[in-house]
Amino acid sequence: MAQPPDRARRRPPVYPPPEFPPRWLPAFAQVPPAIFPVLLGLLGLAGALRLGLGRLDLPLAAADLVAGLVLGLWAFGLLAYLVKLGRRPGVILEDLRVMPGRTALAAGTGSVMMAAVVLSPFAPGAAQTLLWIGLALHALLAGLAITVLAGLPREARGVNPGWHLLFTGFILGAPPAALLGQEALARGLIWATLPVALAIWGASLAQLLRSTPPAPLRPMLAIHLAPACLFATSSALTGQAHLATGFSVLAIVISLALVSAGRWITLSGVTPLWGAFSFPLAALATALLRQGGGLASFGMGVLAVALVAVPWLAWKVLKDWPGGRLAAKTNAATA
């Protein structure tokens, strides 16, 4: 068979063609929301490490050092996105139009409440302020997300695991509320968000039985683990032992289901969406460490895994932030 001429074998031109000279962007004009799930995971890991060292009666200095480093990194990431938002406030609506963007921004407002947990042993007053700021920002984000969802095509409005972070995400305020002595607020957040979580779990299960999610989006299934862990932790902190044990068992069941389907979930290879694994893993360790007996021992094993996996996931995601690679991979809007 005759070979095609050389020009016919040439690769098609790149589209869109690269800009030359490259377009200059102001600092932080393209901060990707995808940084927030791993920052949330690191904050959760800092809290879990402190619990684990306390269980082993070891000095807490290492946990305090990790807490300081993680809080600094989180504050930098949050400030960077606020600078982007300050350049053009409407950019948040563009980030909310993309499903991974909505989920990541919910992790961002949720991280304010998780930062309150990490800060509570050192500065209870500042932690209290962060708790209320986080709840207010999360409510504002949920309202904006509903507005954006209402304007999207019907097929883009389907229930997905990210809805847990958006609409059940207020439960992230229950642990810091309990730690800061606001037990009534913590219990209120538990009972207010529990029906939401149950509805999302039910709708997601029905959806999963009807259709198979695309491979690139499957890592987001790990988010289903987080609410069970947070309900277990919050119930333990508010003295609801039976509820805490029940949710801990549910968390273990969900985690075992995720592990058994691990090869299927990770079929598309490492992507920024793998950040969805980080916080549920740290939250599972925390939830189990808050229990007693065998559950706490299992929690120590989960913590050992999380101490390796969560920083690795954070590195894999955050290393692509400089230079705009992470923004390009996740379709982040530009201010």
Contacts (Cβ under 8 Å, ≥6 apart) of 96:
102, 105, 144, 145, 148
User: What is the model's pLDDT at position 14?
Assistant: 47
Give the C-alpha separation, 246 to 250, whole Å.
6
Residue 149 structure tokens: 């969802």
CA 242 to chain centre: 27
| CATH no., domain 31-317 | 1.50.10.150
Going residue by residue through the chain, which has 335 residues, state the pLDDT in tens, using 9 for 90 and above: 445 554 444 554 544 455 555 566 777 889 999 999 999 999 999 999 999 999 999 999 999 999 999 999 999 999 999 999 999 999 999 999 999 999 999 999 999 999 999 999 999 999 999 999 999 999 999 999 999 999 999 888 889 999 999 999 999 999 999 999 999 999 999 999 999 999 999 999 999 999 999 999 999 999 999 999 999 999 999 999 999 999 999 999 999 999 999 999 999 999 999 999 999 999 999 999 999 889 999 999 999 999 999 999 999 999 999 988 999 999 999 98
**Three-state SS sequence of the chain:** CCCCCHHHHCCCCCCCCCCCCCCCCCCCCCCCCCHHHHHHHHHHHHHHHHHHHHHCCCCCHHHHHHHHHHHHHHHHHHHHHHHHHHHCCCHHHHHHCCHHHHHHHHHHHHHHHHHHHHHCCCCHHHHHHHHHHHHHHHHHHHHHHHHHHHCCCHHHCCCCCHHHHHHHHHHHHHHHHHHCCCHHHHHHHHHHHHHHHHHHHHHHHHHHHHCCCCHHHHHHHHHHHHHHHHHHHHHHHCCCHHHHHHHHHHHHHHHHHHHHCHHHHCCCCCCHHHHHHHHHHHHHHHHHHCCCHHHHHHHHHHHHHHHHHHHHHHHHHHCCCHHHHHHHHCCCCCC
- State pLDDT tens for residues 220-244: 999 999 999 999 999 999 999 999 9
Q: Which tens digit of pLDDT belongs to each residue from 92-141?
A: 999 999 999 999 999 999 999 999 999 999 999 999 999 999 999 999 99
Crossing angle (nearest 10°) for helices 225-237 and 241-260: 160
Res 47: pLDDT: 97
Enumerate the domain spans of the chain.
Answer: 31-317
pTM for the complete prediction? 0.91
Alpha-carbon Rg for the chain, nearest whole angstrom, is 21
Choose among 77, 14, 9, 12: nearest CA to 41: 77
